[in-house]
Amino acid sequence: MGLELFDLAGKVAVFIGANGGLGSAMSLGLAEAGADVIPVSRNEEKNEELVRKIEMLGRRSMLVSVDATRRDQLEKLREQVVAEFGRVDILVNAAGTLVKKPFLEISEDEWDRVMDVNLKAMYLACQVLGPLMVEQRSGKIINISSMGAFLGITRSSAYCATKGGVNQLTKVLASEWGPYGVTVNAIAPGFFVTPLNEKVLTQPEVEAKLTGDTPLKRYGNPRDLVGTTIFLASAASDFVTGTVIPVDGGYLAYAF
């Protein structure tokens, strides 16, 4: 027993939001650990690039284009994955969007879009793909949360509301599906510069404040998420469920 606890050889991972700033590193990390990985999101060009990289690592993949806010598209995805791979062992829910506006300026459309991508897509993916795991009596679900699940980030009300929901959905699903051998956990990344937030995080005063309040004194690098992702996807975490693991350089722990 040792490193083999983290071995994902033969496992099939569906990764929603794989082509994003964080998802690219995390999904390739799963492939490096041995998993076959299907990158799921809308942009087919970006998905294709990732499929190529996964295959170059010697793993199987599949090119799809899916809007995860659409149940019909997720159901079609399930059919394709079952036909090609026969099972789903790992589901990562990392689709995300952010609207940066004061609360009073957020329109209903913007509120709904953030809810749909960050929370409803998670509900849909778990409802469409989760039953495969329940049926096979094993599975690992990893939901991507945020500092915004714990803290009030100004001009991010819809985003923070969805991430609080992500933490709670994670706990409820862990409670419902634990008896069937399915673990459900979340990762709460700290601050990482990606297309989601680069306009905000690259402002010098924001960077100085956030990295200054981070004990490790820097922003995260997407590779910083790989170890925790592999841990939660592998047998190493078989008795871990319903938890939210911050990968934040100590941001949540810091007072002054």
Q: Supply the residues annotated as catalytic.
A: 159
Q: What's the CA gap between 88 and 136, in Å, rounded? A: 9
Helix or strand holding residue 221 (H, E): none
Shortest distance in whole angstroms from residue 115 CB to ligand NAP: 12
Beta strands in 86-235 (DSSP E): 90-93, 139-144, 182-189
Q: Does 196 bind ligand NAP (CB under 6 A)?
A: yes
CB of 10 to ligand NAP, least distance (A): 25
> Which of these segments, 7-15, 41-49, 175-183, 234-242, binds ligand NAP (CB under 6 A)?
41-49
Nearer to ligand NAP by Cβ, of 68 and 141: the residue is: 68
Whether 57 contacts 28, CB under 8 Å: yes
Q: Name which position in 28, 54, 89, 96 contacts ligand NAP (CB under 6 A).
A: 96
| C-beta separation of 167 from 223 below 8 A | no
Shortest reach from residue 110's CB to ligand NAP, in Å:
14
Q: Measured between alpha carbons, how far is 95 from 66 in angstroms, rounded to an integer? A: 11
For strand 90-93 and strand 12-16, is the pairing parallel, antiparallel, or unpaired? parallel
Looking at the Cβ atoms of 195 and 204, the one nearer to ligand NAP is: 195
Segment lying near ligand NAP (by CB under 6 A), choices 133-141, 167-175, 192-200, 238-246: 192-200
Answer yes or no whether residue 251 interacts with ligand NAP by CB under 6 A. no
Contact with ligand NAP (CB under 6 A): which of 13, 22, 62, 160? 22
Q: Check if the beta carbon of residue 226 is closer than 8 Å to that of residue 8.
A: no
57 phi and psi, to 5 degrees?
A: -80, 0
Binding status of residue 19 toward ligand NAP by CB under 6 A: yes
Q: Which residues pair with 170 in a beta bridge?
A: none
Q: Tokens 């490193």 sit at which residue? A: 3
Interaction between residue 229 and ligand NAP (CB under 6 A): no
Per-residue contact string for residues 110-149; x = within reach of ligand NAP by CB under 6 A: -------x---x----------------------x-x---
HSE-up of residue 238 (Cα within 13 Å, Cβ side): 8
Q: Rounded to the nearest whole angstrom, what is the least distance from the CB of residue 94 to ligand NAP in the complex?
A: 4
- Surface-to-core class of residue 99, CB atoms within 10 Å of its CB (0-12 exposed, 13-18 middle, 19+ buried): middle
- Taking CB under 6 A as the criterion, the residue among 7, 32, 49, 67 binding ligand NAP is 67
Which parts of this chain interact with ligand NAP (CB under 6 A)?
16-17, 19-23, 41-43, 46, 67-69, 94-97, 117, 121, 144, 146, 189, 191-192, 194-197
